[in-house]
Structure 1
Amino acid sequence: MGIWTTVKSSPANSPIRFETETGKTLSHADLVNSIQEARHGYWYWTAPSAPEGHTQTMQASQSHDSVDRIYYGRRIMLTEDGSQVSLDYALDKPDLKQWDEDVKYAPQEGLPRYPVRTRYLKPAETAARDNPKETRPLVIHLHGLTGGSHESYVRSTIVAIREHNDVENVVLTARGCNRSPITTPQLFCALWTDDLRYYLSIVKNAQPSRRIYAVGYSLGAAILANFLGQESDVSPLSGACVVSAPWDLYVNHLTLHDSIIGHNVYEPAMAANLNRLIRNNQKVLEQNPVFKERAHAGPAPKSVWEFDDRYTAPFFGFDSVFDYYRSASPVHRLRNIRTPCLILAAEDDPVCGDAAVPYVDASRNPYTHVVSTTTGGHLGWFPLKGQRWHSKVVAKYILAMETIDTRKVHAEFSYPARRFFNGSRLVY
């Protein structure tokens, strides 16, 4: 064994207080502390195969297809701009003979081949997702850069949530990811929160009394944190978990660039995935004049920085990659978060680093609570045995949130939000 991971809990100075179902009051810090794995000083043996950040991260990048096997039913959501966005709903384990028949169905022609253990929902199944009488909580998962519902860190969390909660889980797929085609010349980025906002509006309109939670991972965590800050006190979410977020995108860039492994392993691998996304959707993206101009500006990007400079920044109207990183860093909107939010981070995260984890900022926001670990890498947290640490903590946090009345939240002092958005338009 020899290697262990220790947990550090960093609550807000004056955390919000809830009313429980029994009429008692409970602080956000006490609620987090009710989770054994999230308590300050808790420790566990780390997997011998992944004793530190890099090995944890590399192990997290593997499929681990023999465990946490989730089957999904995919639904296509048409957005306001005419784009198609895939929603992957976690299904019960199917009869495999029936599954072989069900995968033959497709709602339209010309769709890419199915992702692993995924089929399209039939019309009756899609209608059932909009049932106004549905009372189960909904948990929305936002995957990392070019990821999807197939990622092991998503699957492990869904398995853990299912053990503790009777909820519905859905993965909101970023445009062009996980065999979800781009149908309009629009990419995604850390500040692109419109798809999440639109899906939430659909759910709340169809099922106004339903509780909704969200879990974001890596880039998905940045999108979620930005959304929480943008919506502030009008967010429709009852709670959120932000996992391995790049809180400051420029610091994130430096963390990768200044590391030998980051510069020579992580960066090229992530750039290759991004370049593949571009190639797979090139015909549609060429409808965008910015893309036509930038696509032939030189060799294919070899790093995330080069990709964001070539495509992301100009696509979203930023002056430069520096301008994009400054504007899209979710740390700027942490102050505005008015949804109970659990932030999970690892001190040895070689992708995002520990320097930008907003311990001080979060301590001044009554709605946020940071729990970090000495080891865990980027979306890793592999123990010697059993479920991954982040999966258990997220599942138990949502279970604990289900015991309180999220409509009755009390802050001990005034902490006014600053509005940076007018509707969905960035004004700062």
Structure 2
Amino acid sequence: MQRLAMDLRMLSRELSLYLEHQVRIGLFGSGVGLSLILGFSFAYACYYMSSIAKKPQLVTGGESFSRFLQDHCPVVTETYYPTVWCWESRGQTLLRPFITSKPPVKYRNELIKTADGGQISLDWFDDDNSKCYMDASTRPTILLLPGLTGTSKESYILHMIHLSEELGYRCVVFNNRGMAGENLLTPRTYCCANTEDLETVIQHVHSLYPSAPFLAAGVSMGGMLLLNYLGKMGPKTPLKAAATFSVGWNTFACSESLEKPLNWLLFNYYLTTCLQSSINKHRHMFVKQIDMDHVMKAKSIREFDKRFTSVMFGYRTIDDYYTDASPNRRLKSVGIPVLCLNSVDDVFSPSHETAKQNPNVALVLTSYGGHIGFLEGIWPRQSTYMDRVFKQFVQAMVEHGHELSSM
């Protein structure tokens, strides 16, 4: 038996060497395998360059704003090259939180009171080591608004702060009520239709640094809230300019897209559980006005909004709330320069309202990028297309914004 085992091992080894030799000679030795690989690579490269890598559409309601962006924010007219192995919408959306880095940021927290007795948590990055703006009273301030259930710890927020630090700017992150580990003092959370808390924050920050250029940037739901605020305030805002990223323009269309089977499985159900978790820790605050057991059985964002959000903010129906929450209906009233970055393939925002109805608004529309994705490069860990748009735009508005009034 021992002899047989030795013979079998020797036969196996010789057969392996023979097959390895034949495969090497038959494929790569003859060039067939290499030709197949090169042929596939060439075909994929041709498809990528012709169908994937494209210049974004720049839609503006005014020629002067368009010229300003082309002069001072050239990234909005340059070809966007999505990550070659991950350009599909859902892939970009799902992978960004795991691929991109989280730059270390040390915050200073501030709690401010609201008129109804609640509190809002602000996380400040003061940038006291700024060499460009050593005078804190005139140091540009960027207000950052995270997305749904997001906080100051999100990677895209940390990237914006890191880029702002490079420019010498100060940042402050607006954490919605009950988020970032803060307790609720009143039975009220937040939604993208109600701008009262944002108005409180903006007035507070402006009162601290009235001489500093003041800008804002909102991501996803944070961008919807920001646009609704700007549409409500018109030119009567202390903000000098604003930027939004991956905004849902029409809440009805967003909800319908996210309820498609695959999108529900990948995004909708998970976000619903995040919303439920965010309010369940404050459950005792809502039991008198809302059926919390019913809310916790919601299987979609629409069901959650119907059972909780719309009730919380006094809307008669979910349709009334979604109508009021859609930024597209307020776009005409925006009174300051606003740059909006969206992707055509964003399943969270399937419809993209034209920016031509307002000369103050510009829409940069990429063919790919997903929702808060915009990955680029072979291994997009340190920077994304969205980051570059943010940095160039805020710098352009701080340093050259005065040129817009003379155009």
TM > 0.5 between the two?
A: yes
* Aligned residue in 2 for 1:312: 309
Q: CA deviation at 1:402?
A: 1.4
* Aligned residue in 2 for 1:107: none
- Report which of the two has the higher share of strand: 1
Match of 1:170 among 163, 169, 172: 172
Is this contact kept in 2: 1:141–1:170, CA < 8 A? yes
Query: Is 1:388 aligned to 2:391, yes or no?
Result: no
* Aligned residue in 2 for 1:270: 271
Partner SS, residue 43 of structure 1: coil
* Aligned residue in 1 for 2:30: none
Distance 1:377 1:297, change over 3 A: same
Distance 1:185 1:299, change over 3 A: closer
Is this contact kept in 2: 1:146–1:177, CA < 8 A? yes
What one-letter code is carried by the residue in structure 2 that aligns with 1:71? Answer: K
What one-letter code is carried by the residue in structure 1 that aligns with 2:359? Answer: P
Looking at structure 2, the residues matched to 58 and 93 of structure 1 have their Cα atoms a distance apart, in angstroms, of 35
Q: CA deviation at 1:161?
A: 2.6
What one-letter code is carried by the residue in structure 2 that aligns with 1:232? Answer: G
Q: CA deviation at 1:204?
A: 2.5
* Aligned residue in 2 for 1:53: 89
Looking at structure 1, the residues matched to 403 and 80 of structure 2 have their Cα atoms a distance apart, in angstroms, of 35
* Aligned residue in 1 for 2:215: 213
* Aligned residue in 2 for 1:117: none
* Aligned residue in 1 for 2:8: none
Looking at structure 2, the residues matched to 63 and 300 of structure 1 have their Cα atoms a distance apart, in angstroms, of 32
Looking at structure 1, the residues matched to 93 and 339 of structure 2 have their Cα atoms a distance apart, in angstroms, of 21
Is this contact kept in 2: 1:63–1:152, CA < 8 A? no
Q: CA deviation at 1:84?
A: 1.6
TM-score normalised over the length of structure 2: 0.81
* Aligned residue in 2 for 1:326: 323
- Report which of the two has the higher share of helix: 2
Looking at structure 2, the residues matched to 352 and 5 of structure 1 have their Cα atoms a distance apart, in angstroms, of 21
Partner SS, residue 234 of structure 1: coil
> Deviations 1:30-84 (Å, cap 9, x if unpaired)?
2211323211xx22432244221000000134374x4423232221111221212
**1:267-416 pair list within 5 angstroms:** 267-286=268-287, 289-291=288-290, 294-297=291-294, 300-353=297-350, 355=351, 357-359=352-354, 362-384=355-377, 385=380, 387-404=383-400, 406=402, 409=405
Partner SS, residue 235 of structure 2: helix
Which consecutive residues of structure 1, in runs of 5 or more, have no partner in the other structure?
16-26, 95-131, 412-428
Partner SS, residue 387 of structure 2: helix
Partner SS, residue 405 of structure 2: strand
What one-letter code is carried by the residue in structure 2 that aligns with 1:290? Answer: Q
Is this contact kept in 2: 1:190–1:220, CA < 8 A? yes
Q: CA deviation at 1:387?
A: 1.3
* Aligned residue in 2 for 1:37: 75
What is the CA RMSD across the aligned residues, in angstroms?
Answer: 2.4
Is this contact kept in 2: 1:249–1:329, CA < 8 A? yes
Identity %: 26
* Aligned residue in 2 for 1:161: 164
* Aligned residue in 2 for 1:204: 206
Is this contact kept in 1: 2:146–2:157, CA < 8 A? yes
Q: CA deviation at 1:158?
A: 1.9
Is this contact kept in 2: 1:7–1:371, CA < 8 A? no
What one-letter code is carried by the residue in structure 1 that aligns with 2:76? Answer: A
* Aligned residue in 2 for 1:69: 104
> Deviations 1:219-244 (Å, cap 9, x if unpaired)?
00000000000000101110000111
What one-letter code is carried by the residue in structure 2 that aligns with 1:141? Answer: L
Larger radius of gyration: 2
Which is worse superposed, 195-204 or 366-375? 195-204
Q: CA deviation at 1:303?
A: 0.9
Distance 1:133 1:159, change over 3 A: closer
* Count of aligned pairs between the two proteins: 351
> Deviations 1:154-179 (Å, cap 9, x if unpaired)?
1122222322x221011100112222
**1:83-94 pair list within 5 angstroms:** 83-90=118-125
Is this contact kept in 2: 1:70–1:93, CA < 8 A? no
Is this contact kept in 2: 1:137–1:168, CA < 8 A? yes
Looking at structure 1, the residues matched to 192 and 93 of structure 2 have their Cα atoms a distance apart, in angstroms, of 21
* Aligned residue in 2 for 1:109: none
* Aligned residue in 2 for 1:81: 116
* Aligned residue in 2 for 1:238: 240
Is this contact kept in 1: 2:75–2:392, CA < 8 A? no
Looking at structure 2, the residues matched to 186 and 282 of structure 1 have their Cα atoms a distance apart, in angstroms, of 11
* Aligned residue in 1 for 2:13: none
Q: CA deviation at 1:93?
A: 11
Looking at structure 2, the residues matched to 284 and 143 of structure 1 have their Cα atoms a distance apart, in angstroms, of 24
Partner SS, residue 293 of structure 2: coil
Looking at structure 2, the residues matched to 284 and 145 of structure 1 have their Cα atoms a distance apart, in angstroms, of 20
Which is worse superposed, 29-38 or 55-64? 55-64
* Aligned residue in 2 for 1:190: 192
What one-letter code is carried by the residue in structure 2 that aligns with 1:88? Answer: D
Partner SS, residue 272 of structure 2: helix
Looking at structure 1, the residues matched to 128 and 214 of structure 2 have their Cα atoms a distance apart, in angstroms, of 23
Distance 1:392 1:405, change over 3 A: closer
Distance 1:184 1:406, change over 3 A: farther
Is this contact kept in 2: 1:148–1:178, CA < 8 A? yes
Looking at structure 1, the residues matched to 83 and 242 of structure 2 have their Cα atoms a distance apart, in angstroms, of 28
Looking at structure 2, the residues matched to 297 and 319 of structure 1 have their Cα atoms a distance apart, in angstroms, of 18
Partner SS, residue 94 of structure 2: helix
